[in-house]
Amino acid sequence: MMEAWAVVKNGAPLERIEIPDRDPQGTEIVLAVTHGGVCHSDLHFWKGSYNMGGGKIMLLAERGVKLPRAPGHEIVGRVTKVGPQASGVAIGDLRIVFPWLGCGVCQRCQDGEDNLCDKPSAIGVMHHGGFGEQVVVPHSRFLVDPGDIDPAFAATLACSGITVYSAIKKIMPLAADEPVVLIGAGGLGLAAISMLIALGHQNIVSVDIHADQRAAALEMGATKAVDGSQKDVGALLLEAAGGPVKAVIDFVNVSLTAQVGLDCLAKGGKLILIGVSGGDLMLSLAGMVFKPRTVQGSGTGTVSDLRAVVALAQSGKLRSIPLTILPKDAANSALQMLENGQVRGRIVLAAA
């Protein structure tokens, strides 16, 4: 039997449960989880719903999620078992797990864009994730060697790392001194600062409502930090950036932040939506013609993105965000800290 901290009832404390162990079939690989990041998405999974705007709520139960389920999609683990047709890894190998699985057979999956599959099968959502002792991966192509990267940092690359990398690709090309606005300085916002600097960018404006988070953004290398709690935050942001900007990435993504981000764009600018806090964005249709701009969602990233991010980290260019390491049995405390805004950077749960 495998132990796991699982969501048994949405909104209730996680419970330690036992899950039947099983031998891998075909190309499957079993890994013992050594490190697992705690993401804001895990909070939404715990609650079981998403605010879709317009008074609409999406329930995960209606999307095929069955409880109990161990969340956690930022995973590093050590290979303990391999299926009879598995190749590319050996028992004892330490690997980062790409969790954003699809159906495995559609054209998106065949093209390596598993995260865009219309039948998502993500680890930590549709399958038990990093809050458990083990995870099962369908194929070695979803495993990446972290090399000498700190495994706690490496775990965050499977979501935080590839999410910001994928978003940054969408705003490029952009001159290194062009201001990029990042709304939210939580784990993803700080990771985006680190990623932009690693990719050679030099002008980063961070926005957050919390003074501690703004301080963290400046420590990570942001050029300026704007107080998002101010009523005139849009004007303050434009002042900090020196005028309308070509790129905004919104890691909060509520009605207010998305609107501020859109209003700060120059002609031809791009607003990339990442957060899933929920709400609505009102658009003037004619205004989108007279002042052409792009609003685009961005969902995690691909296996290729993960390999590129890991290579960047291995080169020493990508700096780790602040990490708080807690034992696996502190999973409930970790979620509560995240819910209360008490986390600087990322919490990572480590096996004993």
pLDDT at 324: 97
- Kindly provide the b/e burial profile for residues 165-198, where b requires at least 16 CB atoms within 10 angstroms of the residue's own CB: bbbbeebeebeeebbbbbbbbbbbbbbbbbbbbb
In this predicted structure, the answer to whether residue 63 has a pLDDT above a threshold of 90 is no
Q: Which two tokens stand for residue 78?
A: 């050590």
In this predicted structure, the answer to whether residue 352 has a pLDDT above a threshold of 90 is no
pLDDT at 265: 98
DSSP letters, 298-344, are -----HHHHHHHHHHHHTT-SPPPPEEEEEGGGHHHHHHHHHTT--S
pLDDT at 27: 98
pLDDT at 311: 98
Spatial distance between the Cα atoms of 101 and 28, rounded to a whole number of angstroms? 13
Q: Which residues contact 144 (CB under 8 A, 6 or more apart)?
A: 95, 96, 98, 303, 306, 307, 310
Give pLDDT tens digits for 281-292.
999 999 999 999
Spatial distance between the Cα atoms of 173 and 168, rounded to a whole number of angstroms? 9
In this predicted structure, the answer to whether residue 92 has a pLDDT above a threshold of 90 is yes
Q: Which two tokens stand for residue 166?
A: 């994928």
Give pLDDT tens digits for 198-236.
999 999 999 999 999 999 999 999 999 999 999 999 999
- Kindly provide the b/e burial profile for residues 337-346, where b requires at least 16 CB atoms within 10 angstroms of the residue's own CB: bbeeeebbbb
In this predicted structure, the answer to whether residue 89 has a pLDDT above a threshold of 90 is yes
Tell me the average pLDDT of the chain. Answer: 96
Q: Which residues contact 336 (CB under 8 A, 6 or more apart)?
A: none
pLDDT at 22: 86
Q: What is the mean pLDDT of residues 39-68?
A: 92
Q: What is the mean pLDDT of residues 236-250?
A: 97
Q: Which two tokens stand for residue 331?
A: 């999973």
Predicted structure pTM score: 0.95
SS3 label, residue 45: helix
- The fraction of the chain above a pLDDT of 70, given in percent, is 100
Spatial distance between the Cα atoms of 151 and 166, rounded to a whole number of angstroms? 22
Could you tell me where the DSSP H helices lie in the chain? 40-47, 107-110, 151-156, 162-171, 187-198, 211-220, 233-241, 255-263, 287-290, 303-314, 331-339
Residue 11 burial (CB < 10 Å; 0-12/13-18/19+)?
exposed
Residue 31 burial (CB < 10 Å; 0-12/13-18/19+)?
buried
Q: What is the mean pLDDT of residues 321-328?
A: 96
DSSP letters, 84-115, are TT--S--TT-EEEE------SSSHHHHTT-GG
- For β-strands 323-327 and 134-137, DSSP reports them as unpaired
Q: What is the mean pLDDT of residues 145-150?
A: 97
Banded pLDDT at 75 (limits 50, 70, 90): very high
Banded pLDDT at 257 (limits 50, 70, 90): very high
SS3 label, residue 202: coil
Main-chain phi, psi angles of 192, to 5 degrees? -65, -40
pLDDT at 316: 96
pLDDT at 116: 96
Q: Which two tokens stand for residue 154?
A: 């490496």
Banded pLDDT at 66 (limits 50, 70, 90): very high
Q: How far is CA 313 from CA 17, 153, 254, in A?
A: 35, 9, 31
In this predicted structure, the answer to whether residue 162 has a pLDDT above a threshold of 90 is yes
